[in-house]
Amino acid sequence: MSQIHFVGAGQMAEAIIRAAQKRGAVSASQITLADIDDGRIATLRDRYQLTSALNDSEALAAADYIVIGVRPQDDIDGVARHICQYASPQATVISIIAGVTLERLGAQFGTTRPIVRTIPNTLTDTGFGYSGVVFNAHVKPEPLMPFLESFGKVMLLEERLIDIFTGFAVAGVNYVYYFIESLTDAGVLSGLSRPQASKVVWENLIGGVEMLKTSGLHPRQLMDINNSPAGVGINGLYELNNSDFAAGLQRSVMTAVRRTTELSGSKPA
Ligand X SMILES: NC(=O)C1=CN([C@@H]2O[C@H](COP(=O)(O)OP(=O)(O)OC[C@H]3O[C@@H](n4cnc5c(N)ncnc54)[C@H](OP(=O)(O)O)[C@@H]3O)[C@@H](O)[C@H]2O)C=CC1
Ligand Y SMILES: O=C(O)[C@@H]1CCC=N1
Nearer to ligand X, 33 or 197 (CB): 33
Among 26, 67, 87, 98, binds ligand Y (CB under 6 A): 98
Dihedral class, residue 110 (left if φ above 0, else alpha if ψ from -120 to 50, else beta): left
Binding string to ligand X for residues 84 to 113, with x set by CB under 6 A, is what?
------------xxx---------------
Based on the shown chain and the rule CB under 6 A, indicate whether residue 76 belongs to the binding site for ligand Y: no
With contacts defined by CB under 6 A, how many residues of the chain interact with ligand Y? 4
Based on the shown chain and the rule CB under 6 A, indicate whether residue 79 belongs to the binding site for ligand X: yes
Sequence-ordered list of residues with C-beta below 8 angstroms from that of 59, at least 6 positions apart, any chain: 3, 5, 32, 34, 52
Residue closest to ligand X when measured from CB atoms: 10
Cα first-last separation, the chain = 36
Based on the shown chain and the rule CB under 6 A, indicate whether residue 163 belongs to the binding site for ligand X: no
Q: Are 29 and 52 a contacting pair, CB within 8 Å?
A: yes
Residue from 177, 174, 196 nearest 252 by CA: 174
Among 92, 136, 166, 184, binds ligand Y (CB under 6 A): 166
- Find the length of the chain: 269
Helices vs. strands in the chain: H and E counts, helices first: 12, 7
Binding string to ligand X for residues 36 to 75, with x set by CB under 6 A, is what?
xx--x----------------------------xxxx-xx
Nearer to ligand X, 26 or 162 (CB): 162
Measured over the CA atoms of residue 46, residue 51, residue 53 and residue 59, the dihedral's sign is negative
Based on the shown chain and the rule CB under 6 A, indicate whether residue 94 belongs to the binding site for ligand Y: no
**DSSP states along 79-144:** HHHHHHHHS-TTSEEEE--TT--HHHHHHHH-TTS-EEEEE--TTTTTT-SEEEEEE-TT--HHHH
Which DSSP helix (H) or strand (E) runs through 68?
strand 65-68
| 251: partner contacted, choices ligand Y, ligand X, none (Cβ within 5-8 A by kind) | none
Give the nearest distance from C-beta 248 to ligand X in angstroms. Answer: 22
Based on the shown chain and the rule CB under 6 A, indicate whether residue 170 belongs to the binding site for ligand Y: yes
What residues line the site for ligand X (CB under 6 A)?
Answer: 7-13, 34-37, 40, 69-72, 74-75, 78-79, 96-98, 119-120, 122, 170
What residues line the site for ligand Y (CB under 6 A)?
Answer: 98, 166, 170-171
